[in-house]
Amino acid sequence: MPETNPGVEIEAQVPNRKTKTFQPGHGITHGFYARSQPEEQVLAVLAEDIQGIEAEIAGLRGLARGLVSRQVASRSSLEVAQLADAHSLAVSRLAELIGAEKQLAKEEGASAWADELLGRLDKFAVKQGEAPVSEAIRAQAQAAEPELAITTRRLVEEIASMRYMLRNVLGLALQTQALPVFIRLVEIYGRGCARLVRMLKREGSHHARLEKYLWEAIDQAQDEVLKEWGR
């Protein structure tokens, strides 16, 4: 073994182990992940600005009727049983959708005070010789967070993509003649509708976001007044 000289200091370079701050979206730069915006089809659904679940209720009800029609035409006891099971699940989910629609509509109309407040602000602005402010405030409330940013905490893009995919599933179900495929597509559609409702409840209505925005503005104005008063 080679001898070492204790009187000689050996300089060694310490590797740079500084951590790098993760940047949102870092690494998502290739393949299917390279795009910074949703597909055009999803953007088109976003542009429709759909608020309720009327289309999904109509779609699921139509598929449930299709299950009944196929059972009437069936001559197989096994098919009759499969269709009955699929129908009971579909109408159960349909009932849930109808109940959720009422709840969502109630939440949408719960903030009548916000509309009244904006109306008063418009009247005050007009008296001062200025343009009404309500439309600008509504737009600011909805655009408080960039809807399509990859780091957004809102679900508008995902809700639109869910609606788009449900439309595709509905179209396939209406076209197929194969009974097992039809039953499977009805199941997928119903389950997707239930998930859509949960996403809508999580996201909240336009009125809910407007109400939150107004309360935050009121709280901020109150804090500024109290600060001026030295409190």
Cα–Cα distance measured from residue 155 to residue 161, given in angstroms and rounded to the nearest whole number:
10
Question: Residue 229: which pLDDT band, with cuts at 50, 70 and 90?
Answer: confident
Predicted pLDDT at 28: 47
Predicted pLDDT at 175: 96
Residue at 106 is within a domain: yes
Per-residue pLDDT averaged across 34-54, rounded?
A: 81
Residue at 160 is within a domain: yes
Predicted pLDDT at 166: 97
Cα–Cα distance measured from residue 145 to residue 142, given in angstroms and rounded to the nearest whole number:
8
How many structural domains does the chain have?
Answer: 1
**Interval 7-24: pLDDT, tens:** 555 455 555 555 555 455
Residue at 225 is within a domain: no
Domain span including residue 55: 40-111+155-209
Residue at 214 is within a domain: no
Residue at 164 is within a domain: yes
Residue at 11 is within a domain: no
Predicted pLDDT at 108: 61
Residue at 83 is within a domain: yes
Predicted pLDDT at 51: 81
Predicted pLDDT at 165: 96
Which runs of consecutive H residues, i.e. helices, occur in 74-178? Answer: 77-108, 112-127, 134-142, 156-175
Six-digit token pair at 148?
């399509």
Cα–Cα distance measured from residue 203 to residue 180, given in angstroms and rounded to the nearest whole number:
35
Residue at 196 is within a domain: yes
Cα–Cα distance measured from residue 59 to residue 53, given in angstroms and rounded to the nearest whole number:
10
**Interval 166-197: pLDDT, tens:** 999 999 999 999 999 999 999 999 999 999 99
Rounded to two decimals, what is the model's pTM?
Answer: 0.64
